[in-house]
């Protein structure tokens, strides 16, 4: 009897944590660095359990942050970035590779995302965002430049950008729907497109100091 219980405890110790890890999955954050002295280029890679908050103090030579997941059901926790460069752009890509500056469909990474906070990055840094997620946006995003972000589910929080990509290039948001807590705000310049691919929701769009509520286009 004691031997059976001992074996059961061993199985529970190893199997249950493995099952939990398989359920949450892994979020990988890869930081690409320049070769500005004393940095020597290369990348730093950080791993997080799916859904856990991500807080990362970037090196001053960081040029790009890539966020990927181990599967389509993996949630991405809230991402808070601090440190980093003081006067050079910082690209943030939800997905792999370089930041796409064109109006092309991005791969959708993971499931829900709890948002992005770059408010502690130096004010002279152009934080630039592009990419896509498969689920809902549940937390707010605020960046200097927005190129294209796709949300497969519902935008449930605020997306805010100071300028479109490259101060007048691509700036697009596509989502399944926009929830009552969701909004897209662009302070300056033209917003190329906001499009919902699911049921009709109302979103608020901001152009400079003007704000209009209108029903979004649908596919």
Measure Cα distances from 27 to 32, 74, 78, 94, 113 in Å: 16, 8, 11, 11, 11
The confidence score (pLDDT) of residue 27 equals: 98
The confidence score (pLDDT) of residue 216 equals: 40
The confidence score (pLDDT) of residue 211 equals: 36
The confidence score (pLDDT) of residue 79 equals: 99
Indicate the pTM of the whole model. Answer: 0.82
Low-confidence ranges of the chain (pLDDT < 70): 1-23, 199-219
CA end-to-end distance (rounded Å), the chain: 64
The confidence score (pLDDT) of residue 199 equals: 52
The confidence score (pLDDT) of residue 23 equals: 58
* Strand residues in the chain grouped as ranges (E): 26-33, 43-49, 54-58, 62-69, 79-83, 90-94, 116-117, 127-133, 141-155, 158-164, 172-178, 183-186, 193-196, 202-207, 210-215, 217-218
């Amino acid at each position: 009897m004691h031997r059976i219980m001992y074996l059961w405890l061993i199985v529970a110790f190893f199997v249950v944590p493995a099952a939990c890890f398989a359920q949450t999955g892994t979020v990988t954050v890869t930081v690409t660095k320049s070769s500005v002295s004393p940095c020597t280029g290369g990348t730093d890679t950080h791993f997080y359990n799916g859904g856990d908050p991500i807080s990362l103090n970037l090196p001053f030579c960081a040029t790009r942050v890539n966020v990927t997941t181990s599967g389509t059901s993996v949630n991405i926790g809230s991402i808070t970035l601090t440190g980093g460069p003081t006067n050079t752009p910082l690209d943030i890509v939800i997905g792999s590779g370089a930041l796409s500056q064109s109006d092309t469909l991005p791969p959708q990474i993971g499931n829900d995302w709890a948002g992005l906070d770059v408010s502690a990055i130096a004010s002279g840094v152009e934080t630039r965002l592009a990419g896509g997620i498969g689920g809902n946006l549940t937390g707010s995003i605020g960046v200097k430049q927005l190129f294209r972000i796709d949300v497969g589910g519902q935008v449930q929080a605020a997306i805010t950008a100071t300028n479109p990509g490259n101060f007048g290039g691509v700036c697009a948001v596509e989502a399944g729907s926009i929830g009552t807590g969701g909004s897209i705000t662009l302070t300056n310049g033209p917003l190329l497109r906001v499009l919902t691919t699911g049921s009709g929701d109302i979103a608020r769009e901001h152009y400079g100091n003007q704000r209009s509520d209108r029903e979004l286009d649908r596919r």
